[in-house]
Amino acid sequence: MKRFLMILTAGIAMIAGREEVSAQNAWIVDRFDDIKVLRYEVPGFDELPLEEKLLVYYLAESAQCGRDIIFDQNFKYNLAIRRTLETVYTHYKGDRTTHDWAMLEKYLKKVWFANGIHHHYSNEKFRPEFTKKYFMKVVKSVPKDAFDEELNSLRDVVVDAIFDDKLYATRLNQTEGQDLLLTSCGNYYEGVTQAEAEAFYAAMEDPNDPTPISYGLNSKLVKDPDGVIREHVWKIGGMYSPAIEKVVYWLELAKGVAKEPQKQIIAELIEHYRTGDLRSYDKFNILWAQDNVSNVDFVNGFTETYGDPLGNKAAWESIANFVDKSATHRTEVISENAQWFEDHSPVNPAYRKEVVKGVSAKVITAAMLGGECYPATPIGINLPNADWIRRDYGSKSVTIDNITNAYSKSAEGDGFLEEFMLREEDRERIVKYGKLADDLMTDLHECLGHGSGQLAPGVSPGALGSYRSTLEETRADLYALYYLGDPKMVELGLIPNLDVAKAEYAKYMMNGAMTQLSRVELGKNVEESHMRNRKLVADWCYEHGKADKVVEWVTVGGESYIVVNDFDKLRTLFGQLLGELQRIKSEGDYEAGKALVEAYAVKVDLKLHAEVVKRYSALNIAPYSGFVNVRYELVHDASGNVTDVRIVPQVEGYVAQHLRYAKDYSFLPTMN
Ligand code: ZN
């Protein structure tokens, strides 16, 4: 499972001053369509011992070798289309200053970003903004021998796939009642109906197996010419073999420098790639889930099944990473003091947990992104996915801090805070402490908030019905908000001063009461439970602090702003609401929970909503972000021994990176 950044959820936008709005943000490498391409940094890499640097290097090389696999998995003609476009892009000698050419280039950039011709998020096929006629003219102007024979023979297929609206419209159809395989053009099944695929796997499964194999995870299901349905397994000697061989080549080198238990873990993964055996994949995952000692770690394999409408087949992905020691220390401090926080929480003492254990979340630094994790990248990962492995051996949950850092840095200067945050002092605090405040909010929410409190005897955890998840998220957020402003945080060295809390409080109220509405369709209510939670907190606190003007709506030049006048009293209100939320949960008070949610979390003021949508869209902020990878190079001494691994200081451009990948990391034939 993965967590993705939802733009604005944490109100990540930050800005230094109005004069910087138009300045080029150095974290943004490229910008096209609805996409921002960012760079990320790898802090701490230089300080790793050489052995670990080499391990990262080998795992990083391996991560880049499966790139063609994800293109082919997403759609069977993606490699043909990508290679045709790349060949055109590198060989075209005509005019590159025309609008048509710009549109063709944009289309190629989108294909690189989505690992294919379907949008990475909506799964809908891209509409080219250039004509078929123009495209054919450009293709014909490129020398025929620039394309290999296979590409020349696939020309019509490529052109139809790009230009025919009726063909391959969606990669992933999830509309109930339709044949999800015949209506999805993801490349996980061929010539097989949904009913046939379901019957195929139902026959394999043993419902009484307490440790069930993830059947179908690493294969394409195909009706072969003889009419028999067979799995074409992704392994060495099977489908995708040329790319998997390279993935394994680098894993072998990684194994050579890894220490135990990691050596054994990598060996098990290699065994799985060699045999295609899913039991060996389970064995790998069991060892991997239990390894909490290795500083360098990785994800590498057929992992997430979001791309298969039936949820059997896994996309190839990889991330090489190592522990972010200082950020992990932060969650350890919080978790070690879990009992203190619980004992002081502003709830009825009967509903505090007597013995509370905090969860320590691991924070990592990504060193290389590959496959489905590139260029669009998760900010958190929780693996392995097999339920029985999670149940019996646990799982690893990590937050990727250098990626979230890049997201927040890239938002500087996008004009968002300027537009919606009235007071300069608030903006300054958010610029200075916003990232730290967001991190601590997440830590407190996840490591303490959800685990805090206890039910009264006899109360069922399901008592709150459909309001449960909104109320639970609200409770965890309030726990985090309340403690972020506690002097204990300064005492523990987690924050330098309470301005960190002020930054978060101002941002939270703005987001909960106002700016998050930019993500809700005009005229609709708030549905998503985290959004409901934030609205509940903001609107309840506004209402209950009204007499003292704790929080105030201010109109300047016809535009609305929400302003916090009294941070201490706001914190007291957070504490009061937390007490009530805990009471509702502990007593299973359905009616009170329902009343709170319905009064504060759901209904949107239409006039305010329209204003927010208008102001937000005028900022023209790209809703999706992805990354260019860093590059590593080996440093040798005079006799050829490796003495160091270093990060190439110059950031590679988005186009340059993809053209290099096309040259150096393209191992599969065009049709597989
Ligand atoms: Zn939560």
CA 414 / ligand 1 centre spacing (Å): 28
CA 562 / ligand 1 centre spacing (Å): 25
Tell the residue number behind the tokens 């990684």, with chain if given. 254
pLDDT along the chain (672 residues), means of 10: 53 32 74 95 97 98 98 98 98 97 98 97 94 98 94 97 97 90 96 97 92 96 97 98 98 98 98 98 96 96 94 97 92 93 96 85 94 93 88 86 92 92 97 94 90 91 89 96 98 98 98 94 90 97 98 97 98 98 97 97 96 95 94 97 97 98 98 97
Those residues whose beta carbon sits under 5 angstroms from the ion ligand 1 are 473, 476
What per-residue confidence (pLDDT) applies to 359? 75
CA dist., res. 28 & res. 574, Å (int): 37
CA dist., res. 124 & res. 518, Å (int): 22
CA 396 / ligand 1 centre spacing (Å): 17
CA 362 / ligand 1 centre spacing (Å): 16
What per-residue confidence (pLDDT) applies to 462? 84
The Cβ of residue 253 has, within 10 Å, a number of other Cβ atoms equal to 18
Q: Helices 468-484 & 529-544, crossing angle to 10 degrees?
A: 60
What per-residue confidence (pLDDT) applies to 571? 98
- For 93, the token pair is 């000698």
CA 655 / ligand 1 centre spacing (Å): 38
CA dist., res. 543 & res. 529, Å (int): 21
Going by C-alpha positions, the residue among 568, 564, 541, 537 that lies closest to residue 553 is 564
CA 521 / ligand 1 centre spacing (Å): 24
CA 642 / ligand 1 centre spacing (Å): 46
CA 359 / ligand 1 centre spacing (Å): 13
Q: What is the DSSP letter of 84?
A: H
* Predicted TM-score (pTM) of this structure: 0.86
CA dist., res. 170 & res. 177, Å (int): 16
Ranges of each domain in the chain:
3-35+317-627, 51-167+632-664
Q: Helices 78-91 & 67-74, crossing angle to 10 degrees?
A: 120
CA 349 / ligand 1 centre spacing (Å): 23
Going by C-alpha positions, the residue among 607, 426, 514 that lies closest to residue 14 is 426
CA 480 / ligand 1 centre spacing (Å): 11
CA dist., res. 106 & res. 127, Å (int): 11
CA 442 / ligand 1 centre spacing (Å): 9
CA 479 / ligand 1 centre spacing (Å): 11
* Integer Rg of the chain from CA: 26
Q: Which helix (H) or strand (E) holds 83?
A: helix 78-91
Counted residue by residue, the chain has a size of: 672
The Cβ of residue 494 has, within 10 Å, a number of other Cβ atoms equal to 22
CA dist., res. 1 & res. 21, Å (int): 36
For 454-473, the three-class secondary structure string (H helix, E strand, C coil) is CCCCCCCCCCCHHHHHHHHH
CA 59 / ligand 1 centre spacing (Å): 32
CA 275 / ligand 1 centre spacing (Å): 39
CA 77 / ligand 1 centre spacing (Å): 40
Cα end-to-end span (Å), the chain: 28
CA 450 / ligand 1 centre spacing (Å): 7
The Cβ of residue 435 has, within 10 Å, a number of other Cβ atoms equal to 20
* Contact present, 403 and 627 (Cβ < 8 Å): yes
CA 633 / ligand 1 centre spacing (Å): 40
What are the start-end ranges of the H helices in 545-620?
567-587, 590-600, 606-619
